[in-house]
Structure 1
């Protein structure tokens, strides 16, 4: 039986397949176009505009990271519109149509810079705008009866993302090579249309949480209140905080939530962007490096953009291995890798990946021809870094903020991504470093960030917030956040 004696329902809600199907197709569409973007800009769109190969490569990398900046900036807008005004369903559906229009522009305007860039802008708005809404909408479909299935469904959700990325990385670069840009960008466009259609099909089944409207005790309002008022005198023996001035207009729990956001920001914002500077360049700098390598691995020939399939394939293998084997083994040996240890370690590991790739570049600049299979090693190292930083960091940050501030924490995480990409875009545009120097340039920053984050983490006071248990008689009641001391 699906329903147990304790009142739990072991069935997934019937609307979940629509959302999972939507996510699988949408992720294929996004990674399909993203992973060939750098090569397309170099070999097609900018070919006649910028004859010099080195200058064209530099401009292509800059444009790629400007695009990625938009992808991570517009989630702030999409999440705000969904939470305050229109709800998640409408924002996802409307912006998915914008997303489809962007893909259509890429396929139709392969030879037009204004038309193609319009497509990139529309995809930034669409992809970025729905990013914070889809995963949250999955959680909205569960009640007290089946909330024990949430961990399983989000594991499926994460695997779906990587599965879409894996197949897109393998097949779309081949389509670009064999069939041309119109088809290579058209296939992801068709998948995005299918994603939108699947999402629309489930419209009568979704649980729709209405928008909350303006929040009188939002993070921004609390900060503005504190800045506009004089800080009150602290009681004897106690330390005052500048946000305490907001207590004149806001409840203590809201002000404490804002303080938590600043604590998390002090840990994340100065250091995490340096990881994303490394990670997102696997679709730009690492692809450019692969173009200079021998593409044949035995009888198989790999396109430079195809090597990105290694990352999602390894993620699906390494997360279960690290979680089930490595972390417990270290804990038994008395060397527990807490989140505050994993994140600085991940930054250091990411720096090692770039040192390895930089060493390859030095060898090639001195006349050595390397096989493209050599990129497997830095990809493995970078993927381990991703698991240590990315999957650990967002979950940890969420536990450190009350329920009312968790959306603000997600915004902080997205700002880290956006900041990283705009920094790389500007550095590429200014041509700060080229060749092997750029690998060591970014590795040195990541290593310094690892040291800095480790020092800050030593002083960070962990204050976990968990959802309070739901009493049995009121199964549908919304849980309240309670700090665990």
Structure 2
């Protein structure tokens, strides 16, 4: 029988896919389950167990500080995890060994619900582990494909991201109920069980993975070229000022040591960072919907269609709205705007997203003013804010990932994804520091209640105006043919 040409063979799904999808769903359930109840638990268990109204503002600030510090580590570590995997150990070993550390952190957490120091240690271990594998897991999906089944990759990534959102929705609905009925030990213990399951699932697929070996330390990496260029820039400035000499430009000098492709990659990073410089403040506000907004929900009327929700469950609207709005924006709103003659560019999307973020927080600030005056407003106002914030996330988060891909050469795409996640980390450490200042009667101590949200609205508004001024001047260079 004649051999069937490769292009006529039916593409086969990699046998490793079920293990990757199962691992991701269990891990994301564990991660978001912890985040779902963390702020309210910290206040009730450690920072204001007596429910003293006079201590509530400081207690909430301490809970928010630790919550945002947790997110800071979770989104800083992908940069480290990616480098360690690519250069030294490979993705498989990093995911497996760090997942074991992740499970140990969960165990510490579930056994230390009466010890703040040990509980905080467990949180930091989990955040470091979750971040350490974050940049490896999605890249590991792509490693499983070759030319024979490349057409199936987008379908698998669809399943992959569906598993992420499924884990988020299920955990934020179920874990608050378990926390209320059975206490924190079981509520934090179940995420630990899920993380052990995630590790086991990943290990069971060990013989089915395509394992890309590490490449070793790259000589032409971003940091080395940047430091070399900085050194040459100082020498260039020194010669120009003191000796009035103008030899070659800085990048011409760098080109004598490094390849044009490597230099172009580094320059692309700096062009994209000019855009990403505006994202940390977006994330400084966005991540408050999983901490500050949850604490605000404890003071709202939580009846929805006759059913009383738990405060921690309201955040479930975030992923639900996000999933719903992605096709609405992609196939409805954007084409409609294009028909009016207005070109929908990545930079315009990001600007619109920043504006919507301000609008959502204005609703939250007015809602908090009603609470400060002794009222108990309906949760529907917060749900509206979640809806608007989900639209902002579609415009900023998804667009930035697209922008990082299209505006960077192939050799720098992983680096840009890690730097984008670093922006989330920086935004959260800023919010954590603000809350630390409030808790310790520092500079920001005056910003409690509604004034806290107005503070962040003012900061983002300033960045938004600056963005409008510089957006037209931001350089772009597409690498997609």
Q: State the partner residue of 1:151.
A: 154
Determine if the alignment matches structure 1 residue 227 to structure 2 residue 230: yes
Q: State the partner residue of 1:123.
A: 126
**Is the alpha carbon distance of 1:302 and 1:243 closer, same or farther for their aligned partners in structure 2, counting shifts above 3 Å?**
farther
Of stretches 362-371 and 302-311 in structure 1, the one that deviates more from structure 2 is: 362-371
Map 1:32-431 → 2, pairs under 5 A: 32-47=33-48, 52-229=55-232, 230-231=235-236, 242-269=250-277, 271-431=278-438
Give the conservation status (yes or no) of the 8 Å contact 1:42–1:57. yes
Give the conservation status (yes or no) of the 8 Å contact 2:360–2:386. yes
Report the alpha carbon displacement of residue 231 of structure 1 after superposing the two structures with TM.
4.9
The size of the alignment, in residue pairs, is 459
Q: CA RMSD in A?
A: 2.0
Of stretches 398-407 and 196-205 in structure 1, the one that deviates more from structure 2 is: 398-407
Tell me which protein shows more helix as a share of its residues: 2
Q: State the partner residue of 1:464.
A: 478
**Alignment equivalent of 1:439, drawn from 439, 443, 453:** 453
Q: State the partner residue of 2:242.
A: none
**Is the alpha carbon distance of 1:19 and 1:264 closer, same or farther for their aligned partners in structure 2, counting shifts above 3 Å?**
same
d(CA) in 2 for partners of 1:343, 1:240: 37
d(CA) in 1 for partners of 2:332, 2:283: 27
> Unaligned 5+ residue runs, structure 2?
240-246, 439-443
Give the conservation status (yes or no) of the 8 Å contact 2:363–2:381. no
Q: Secondary structure at the match of 1:206?
A: coil
- After TM superposition, the runs of 4+ consecutive aligned structure 1 residues lying more than 4 A away are 48-51, 230-233
1:268-322 deviation line (CA, Å, top 9, x unaligned): 12x1011101110011110111111122224312111111100111111111221
Report the alpha carbon displacement of residue 30 of structure 1 after superposing the two structures with TM.
0.2
d(CA) in 2 for partners of 1:450, 1:96: 39
Give the conservation status (yes or no) of the 8 Å contact 2:363–2:382. no
Give the conservation status (yes or no) of the 8 Å contact 2:57–2:448. no
d(CA) in 2 for partners of 1:169, 1:324: 29
Q: Secondary structure at the match of 1:430?
A: helix
Report the alpha carbon displacement of residue 461 of structure 1 after superposing the two structures with TM.
3.1
> Unaligned 5+ residue runs, structure 1?
234-238, 467-483
Report the alpha carbon displacement of residue 69 of structure 1 after superposing the two structures with TM.
0.9
d(CA) in 2 for partners of 1:308, 1:12: 35
Give the conservation status (yes or no) of the 8 Å contact 1:287–1:304. yes
Q: State the partner residue of 1:475.
A: none
Q: State the partner residue of 1:23.
A: 24
Report the alpha carbon displacement of residue 5 of structure 1 after superposing the two structures with TM.
6.8
**Is the alpha carbon distance of 1:426 and 1:337 closer, same or farther for their aligned partners in structure 2, counting shifts above 3 Å?**
same
Report the alpha carbon displacement of residue 49 of structure 1 after superposing the two structures with TM.
9.6
